[in-house]
Amino acid sequence: MRRQPATTCPDRIAGAFSARLAPSRVDPRDVEYPVHIAPKPALDIAGLLKQHLEAQTLGELVTVFEPKARQYQQLKQIWNRLQPLAGQPAMHEFKPGKQLRPGDKHPHIVYLRQNLLAMGAIADNANPDSKIYDSDLAEAVKKVQQQQGLKADGVIGSATAALFNRPPQEKLAQLELAMERSRWIPDPSDGPMILVNIPAFELWAFNSPDDANPINMKVIVGKSPDKQTPVLWEEMKYLEFMPYWNIPKNIFEKEILPKAANNQGYLASQEIELVKHQNSEEKGGGSYMRARQRPGKKNPLGRVKFVFPNTADVYLHDTPSRAAFNRPRRDLSHGCVRVSEPKRLAEFVLGDQQGWDKDTIEQAMSHRKPATSR
């Protein structure tokens, strides 16, 4: 058999590498997942292989394909720590049988400590035989509860106890799914960045990818499964203070019109008005009537709207309904994201923009008249 020239080797083995080193294993568009991000450009895998073979740096090739976000690297570290446990016998089940509070004593606390150690939630097992639910364990449990969208109070009920009885295989599968999703979005830029963790109902705002003290707050996201918030990556353009709510057609027809049909004064009582909207020539011209709600206490967008134009037509915004932020599960919206601390987030976004400081932001959020941060 004639040996192929060495220069063709990268072309022959690129296919074998592509499945493992591709930007993602699955294109979310193929499974109709709600993603509004342009596909990542194709990589020249054969060229990269040739380059690293010649430089004898083939071991570094994998990192070229990995997301650069710190969160991805943290997921990878947890996966590496759990993976060896997948083939080991199952741990003792943690079944306290009753609600446990910090300071309580129970024989299964030994198993709780073992689980927290395996999860990396505690650094060591200094008191392996202790049956006291002490403050260190309670703080670790609070972190796990927060990560899983439960009330982070350190009280162990049935939902929290169930977290510690999940087999390693299930945890690994969940981590792999999170890592796969992180591959769908671009790598973080050097500047400020806002990330919404949709399943955790949390928002993080970073001044840079290495920001050690990011802003963190609760959010409300789209109701699953039919109104879930899509995955997207866009640039924030401006803020609208005391915004009008341009009511989407489907919401107006399904939720508002039936109420208006039974109550002639409903639209006026909710400060909803009908206005003529003119289409641009690019959209064929013409006009139609559109419903909008005036700024004020009844407006569901609250006092500020964070705008980043996107094909899904979603945005971040304030809300006059504050009680829902106390719920552990917060998938309640039509798709947009409601933020729990809008003023703080506005200060983050406009922090280096001339003419905007804490006082001017407070004034803009207090006046009845709409204003824009352009």
Query: Would you name the residues annotated as active-site residues?
Result: 317, 336
Is 144:121 a contact under the CB 8 Å cutoff?
Answer: yes
Element (H, E) at 78: helix 70-82
Q: Would you call 146 exposed, middle or buried from its count of C-beta atoms within 10 A (0-12, 13-18, 19+)?
A: middle
- List C-alpha distances in Å: 365 to 95, 171, 305, 372: 49, 43, 10, 11
The two three-digit tokens of residue 76, written as one number: 């990878």
Query: How remote is the C-alpha of 13 from its chain's centroid?
Result: 36
Element (H, E) at 317: strand 316-317
Q: Provide the b/e sequence for 232-248 (b: ≥16 CB within 10 Å).
A: beeebeebbbbbbbebe
Query: How remote is the C-alpha of 185 from its chain's centroid?
Result: 12
The span from the CA of 259 to the CA of 226, in Å, is 23
Q: Check the CA dihedral 263-267-268-270 and report its sign.
A: positive
The span from the CA of 290 to the CA of 142, in Å, is 47
E-strand ranges in 178-286 read 193-197, 202-206, 215-222, 231-232, 238-241, 245-246, 272-278
- Phi, psi (5° rounding) for residue 59? -65, -20
3-state secondary structure (DSSP) of residue 241: strand
The span from the CA of 50 to the CA of 66, in Å, is 19
The two three-digit tokens of residue 263, written as one number: 């109550």
Is 342:318 a contact under the CB 8 Å cutoff?
Answer: yes
